[in-house]
Structure 1
Amino acid sequence: MKLSRNILVIDDETRWLRTIDMLLNRHIPEARTYTCENSRQALQLINDLDIALVLLDLNMPALDGRQLLRDIREHAPYVRVIVLTGLNETEIAVECMKQGAYDFITKTSSTDQLLIGVRRAMEMIGLERRYHQIKEGFFNRMNLSAFDRILTTDIKMHDCFTFAAALHDSREPILIEGEIGTGKHMFAEALQQQVCPEFPLLTLSVADISPQMLEQKLFGVTNQAGLLDMAGSGFLLLAHLSLASEETQRVLTQLCQRKRYFPQGSLRETALKCRLLFSATGTT
């Protein structure tokens, strides 16, 4: 199962679709948003576009939203549905949740409430799909030749290899923890070779680095790309996390949570494309 981030907004109001499309593209750039005015085409689009989340209007002329919800739950059970309602449809929306909708949001809600609901749904989808990825990885034979340089007879380490390889589609940060000399950097190199060998593994030590210098190196400065851009769609290893200051860890935490950043001197946010690896000694 792929870790899809595609969103489909289904509504027969063209202006509303255009507004939601612009809103999601601006504030959730890591997801790709599609729109649909004809509800009869929705199921086909969900299948063709590998949709993970549907924002569904209840009142549509071609196919009623409640019937479409039932069809989605039957034919695409892994797709989450957020019902979009009018002011007088709350009872209907609650009934839709009993039928399998993930949440409902009124069209008069603030944009912040809408974005919070969408992000919460996408986080849940990510957790569910990663669970199935890991489950499939453990029960299916996987090619783990990238880890051949790490010599071990510990069955727990072999489980770690399988677990890491099963997360090949995940964009979530990964923490590699162990004592000095246990091969954390070698594990990171193997993971990079397993998942995206076409990209280099870039490394930055975050020990004793000021937050200002960290932001310059990660986000870049005028006419000079930062490490987040240089890593492309590959991995960036941020080493010695346990030795980083609290302020530096705060900057990194915000980056992991938002998955967006402002290059210095820019007024527009940039979506995080690379994958973040962290290494630490002991408990951070």
Structure 2
Amino acid sequence: MGKILIIDDDELFTKVLSGYIHQYYPLLQVETCTNPLLALPAMKRGDLALLLVDLEMPYLDGNKIFRFATEAGIDKNRIVILSGRDAEYLHEHFPMGTCLAVLNKYEAKQKAVLDMIFNSLQRKAVS
């Protein structure tokens, strides 16, 4: 089963996104964490199909979480960085190839990219 971990200190955003995934991609399992420090053990388990990380968070920001995740063995192509910042800023800090995607979490057009990723994971979960 495709397991997704969402790390974002915005509780409303995590609820909305996880609810959306549950509704439209029922084969995917979603875990959310609003405190990045509490997410560290989940990243060490090695069973994640996808890691969604907010760039701006207290205690540990998305850059530090990204480094921790890759050092824990999570493939960079299974990590999506989310932020309220514009695309230019995001691509400057996470150039193409650094991770699977960098997305502005408030732009409606960016939802299409997440849907493509979730669709792919759901198809893999079926096979």
Cα 1:12–1:118, aligned 2, differ >3 Å: closer, same or farther? same
Q: What are the residue-to-residue correspondences of 1:178-217 with 2, within 5 Å? A: none
1:13 aligns with 2:10: yes
| Structure 2: gaps of 5 or more residues | none
- Tell me how far 1:94 sits from its aligned partner: 4.6
Matches of 1:76 and 1:49, distance apart in 2? 7
> What amino acid is the match of 1:107?
K
| Structure 1: gaps of 5 or more residues | 127-169, 173-284
1:44 aligns with 2:46: no
Instruction: Give the superposed CA RMSD.
Output: 2.6
Matches of 2:38 and 2:119, distance apart in 1? 25
Matches of 2:33 and 2:65, distance apart in 1? 13
Tell me which of 17, 23, 37 is aligned to 1:26: 23
Matches of 1:73 and 1:49, distance apart in 2? 11
Cα 1:37–1:112, aligned 2, differ >3 Å: closer, same or farther? same
- Tell me how far 1:97 sits from its aligned partner: 4.4
1:61 aligns with 2:58: yes
Matches of 2:82 and 2:30, distance apart in 1? 16
2:91–2:102 contact (8 Å) kept in structure 1: yes
Task: Report the equivalent of 1:100.
Answer: 98
2:46–2:74 contact (8 Å) kept in structure 1: no
* Sequence identity (%): 24
1:196-248 per-position Cα deviation (integer Å, ceiling 9, x unaligned): xxxxxxxxxxxxxxxxxxxxxxxxxxxxxxxxxxxxxxxxxxxxxxxxxxxxx
TM-score normalised by structure 1 residue count: 0.39
Cα 1:61–1:47, aligned 2, differ >3 Å: closer, same or farther? same
> What amino acid is the match of 2:82?
L
Q: What are the residue-to-residue correspondences of 1:122-271 with 2, within 5 Å? A: 122=121, 126=124, 171-172=126-127
Task: Tell me: higher relative CO, structure 1 or 2? Use CA pairs within 8 A at least 6 residues apart.
Answer: 2
Cα 1:40–1:52, aligned 2, differ >3 Å: closer, same or farther? same
Q: Which has the larger radius of gyration?
A: 1
Matches of 1:99 and 1:68, distance apart in 2? 17
